[in-house]
Amino acid sequence: MKGGADMKRIVLLAALLIMAGLFSTVIAAGPPETKARNAFKMIQSQADANKDGKLSTAECMAIYKDKELAKKNCTFWDANKDGFITEDEYVKQGANIGNRKRR
């Protein structure tokens, strides 16, 4: 089953990278919120182990092999620093990436 876990990790990392790319190329009108919400739902469907509708820090960190990168990214996406990443936080933080790129 290790191969399945590796494939799951690859899919989730790809989704995160795609979202980073979407937000880094955002136009002046702002980020595509619908795409961000859909990406979060895809990540959530694979990584939300307890199906509570949000990602805990542990669930987020399980996506990554590199634990330093995991800590950095999972901390970033947890905007209010409560230990969970919600859909709204994911969208908000993605918009923040887009705003930084435009400056």
Q: Decide if pLDDT at 103 tops 60.
A: no
**How many structural domains comprise the chain?**
1
Tell me what the pLDDT averaged over the chain comes to.
80
| 1: helix, strand or coil | coil
What confidence tens digit (pLDDT) does each residue in 75-92 have?
999 999 999 999 999 999
What confidence tens digit (pLDDT) does each residue in 3-52 have?
677 777 777 766 666 655 554 444 344 447 888 898 899 999 989 999 99
Q: Report how far Cα 29 is from the mean position of its chain's Cα atoms.
A: 22
> What's the pLDDT score for residue 30?
47
CATH of the domain at 47: 1.10.238.10
Residue type, 1: M
- Percentage of residues in the chain having pLDDT higher than 90: 47
Concatenate the DSSP letters of all residues of 36-63 into one string: HHHHHHHHHHHH-TT-SSSEEHHHHHTT
What range defines the domain where residue 30 resides?
A: 2-102
Compute the distance between CA of residue 62 and CA of residue 49 in angstroms, rounded to an integer.
10
> What's the pLDDT score for residue 58?
94
| 81: helix, strand or coil | coil
- Percentage of residues in the chain having pLDDT higher than 70: 71
